[in-house]
Every structure is written in C-alpha cells, then in structure tokens.
Homo-oligomer: A and B are copies of this chain.
Amino acid sequence: MLPRTPAKGMRDFLPTDFAFRQQVLNIIQKTYESYGFSRIETPAVENIQLLTSKQGGDNEKLIFKILKRGEKLQNATTDLCDLGLRYDLTVPLARFYSNNQGQLPAVFKAIQMDNVWRADRPQRGRFRQFVQCDIDIIGEPTNLAETELITATMNALSNLGFNDAKVRISDRRLLNALAECCGFTDEQKPAIFIALDKLDKIGVTGVMEEVEQIAPGKAVDFVNMLNRINSAPNPFAKCVEELGDFLPPAVRQNLEEILYVTNNSVKNGKVVFDVTLVRGMGYYTGTIYEISLEGLGSAVGGGGRYDKMIGKIIGTDVPACGFSIGFERIVLLMQERGITFEKNKGIAVLVDKNLDKKSLVDVMDACRQMRKTHNVTIINRIKNLGYQLKQLAEQGIDEIYEYKNGAFNKIN
C-alpha cells in the first residue's frame, strides 16, 4: 500500500482551509499594492551555491537538497547535490534583483508571498513547508524605506483584524556601539550577540552567564546597562546618553526619525526602541525590527536592512530593506481569535443518475445561465436524500433544486 499521509511536517489544505488562506493572502497583497509594491515570483528551487553562501545563517543547515541527475550524478564524487529548496525569500530576491536589474525601476518595491522549506523538527505551529509574506524595497538608501515597510506591514495587520501590534526596533550599528562601549573585542561580539538574542528563551540570568563565559568580568556591567536603558521612561534617549560618542550620530538620527514618523503615521499599534533586539540572520547591516501581537511572546514578523547582500552577487552594493510576516502564525492567530470571512454560497442541482441525454442538455443550459452569477454544482441524486442534503449544507450550499420532468423544484 502506498503512503496516504503528506511528507513529514507538511500539510494538505482542504477547501475551507485553502479559501481562508487565499483570502488572507489576498488582503495582504491588496494592502501592499496600495503602498506601491508589486508581486514577483522566483522558482522554489535555487542553485545550491546560492543557498549555501553563508547568507542564511542557521537556516542553511535545514536545506532540502536535491540530488544531481543522470550523468552528473554518476560523475559526482563529493557533491551529490546541485540544487536545493529555498529556505527564505530574501536570498532568492537578491539573486532575482541581480538577474533582472536592467528591467527594474531604480527603487524597486517587491511583494513575495510563497512557500519556503526547512528540514526543521516539526512541532505545533512549525512546518517543513510554510508560506512567508515579504515586502522589500531595493535601491532606497534613506529611511523612507523603513518607514514605508513598517507602516505598510502594520496596515496589513490592521486589515486582517489585528489592532494590537507592536514593532520593536534597533540597529545593528547600535548593537556594535553597545558592544564597544562595554569593552567587548571584535572577536567576542558575535558570541555576545548570539547570547543576547536568546534573552526570550534563557532570561537575563541566562544571558549574563553566557556573557560571563565569553568575556569574564564584563557581564554584570553589560546587563546593568541594558537594565538602565530598558527601565528608563524613554529607553531610546537613555541609550543615546549611555552610549555617548560610541553611537554614530547618523545611527541615532536614523532611529529617531523612524520612531517619530512611524509612531505618528501608524494608527493600530506602536513602534518602540528595544536595545536587546538582535535578530539572527547574519546579513543585516543597519536597522532591524520585529513585530509582535499583544499577549504573544514570540514575533509574528521581522526584518531589517541588508545593504551588502546584493553586492555579493553583482559586485556592487545596492541598498535593500525588507519586512517579512510569518503567514502561518497569522493564520493560526486569526483562527484562534475567531476571525472569519463570508463563505462562498452555492447552488446544487440534483438529477437522476439515469437522466436521458436530452434532459441533461436542458439542465446544463439552465445551469450555464445560473453560473454567470452563482456557483452551481450538478450532482446525481442518491437514495438517502437526507444524507445528501446534509453533506451539501456542510459544503456551504444553501440552495438546492431537483430536476424532475423538465422542471427545477427547490427542495430545501
């Protein structure tokens, strides 16, 4: 017997699930289009060199790799794979931009809503094939990019019924200033940031222990500084004060402007500075942000500026900035919060399974007219009519006719 379940960690979507997901995607797309973004698409499969170029951090460990084929496989010695499934939409976007730059506007605003694949250990709410919704602005060096990305994302969430969103924001260059200010060496910094990134999971004590191991004697001062900043009435102003000359003025001004503009433009939530924000991906070069919803620990989306990624493909850096929504998380939350869409109603026409061919033509002609405005299914009547009507009702079909002796009689 052949397998009947989907591959491990992957899912079948039944008509009701599919319709719900498609409506959510549609709302997100329409919102982003209203901000001047346009959808593009890249293949699910990319060359393995692109996927294993150290852009993707830990996600590169989770790649589904595709075996070479034919002669190439027979001649392969160490590298059995030449392709892989994409683990995110940002690395493929950088390749897409590099490949099509000549045909794209100077400031390119892209929407991507597509599947990505990660060979992660499946668990509740985490799947091996899942949809990400990304917007990116390529070619815009100023923080107009960040403000547009943040307001568009907040607006999309609002249009989906979420009016309690919070964006936490920081900057990789501020993190660097913080590390310098606390006296960490360049060698220690990456490990310090990895430790800080785990704050959600391991708590302040956990971070302090890890930092102490990396840079003995410096953990207490570091954590105390974080505490002073976070507990201040205005954490950003306090951070600026603490970091003093370590913080480049351009970085300070950038964050200040983004905080001001977004907080005065966004109507369904707030944007706050968070000195503890790190974000895992190695490719960020400036602003970083995450979005969360009231009462939920972990983020439902995030992004930042990655001005150096395209340069690794075309040799010249191009400013780039993005914001990704975790679509699966959003769908789950909408279902938990009882957010629904109006269902597509339908009509069913029951016919006798021995209906003569001339009568069937009559039925088809009548349905052709109805189908201009309604969804109409023609099905053979079964003996247990009660059961059949119940099944049809479950499919959202609320008008049922029976064709008999040349007439359509409504029977529900």
Contacts and interface: CB of A to CB of B under 8 A. Distances in A.
A364 interface: yes
A410 interface: no
B265 A313 contact: no
Copies of the chain in the assembly: 2
Nearest to A265: B364
Given A45-B10, A391-B106, A374 B18 contact: no
A90 B351 CA distance: 28
Contacts of A38: 15, 18-19, 395
Interface stretch (A95-103, A203-211, A240-248): A95-103
B6 A42 contact: yes
Interface stretch (A165-173, A217-225, A230-238, A377-385): A377-385
B148 A378 contact: yes
Interface string A347-376: 010010100010011001100100110111
A16 to B, nearest CB: 8
Interface stretch (A60-68, A281-289, A328-336): A60-68
Interface string A40-57: 111111110110010000
A103 B14 contact: yes
A105 B47 CA distance: 42
User: Could you say which interface size class chain A belongs to?
Assistant: 35 or more
A212 interface: no
A228 interface: no
A201 interface: no
A14 B104 contact: yes
Interface of A: 1-7, 10-15, 18-19, 22, 33-36, 38-47, 49-50, 53, 64-67, 69, 80-81, 83, 85, 95-96, 98-100, 103-107, 109-110, 115, 117, 119, 128-129, 140, 142, 144, 147-148, 151, 155, 256-257, 260-261, 264-265, 267, 312-315, 344, 346, 348, 351, 353, 357, 360-361, 364-365, 368, 371-372, 374-380, 382, 388, 391-392, 394-395
25 contacts: A2-B50, A4-B98, A6-B43, A6-B46, A7-B45, A7-B83, A10-B43, A12-B96, A13-B40, A13-B42, A14-B40, A34-B376, A36-B346, A36-B378, A64-B67, A66-B85, A106-B382, A107-B379, A142-B380, A144-B351, A144-B353, A144-B378, A147-B360, A256-B357, A261-B361
Given A7-B83, A11-B43, A144-B360, 7 more contacts: A1-B314, A7-B47, A12-B42, A36-B378, A44-B117, A256-B357, A260-B357
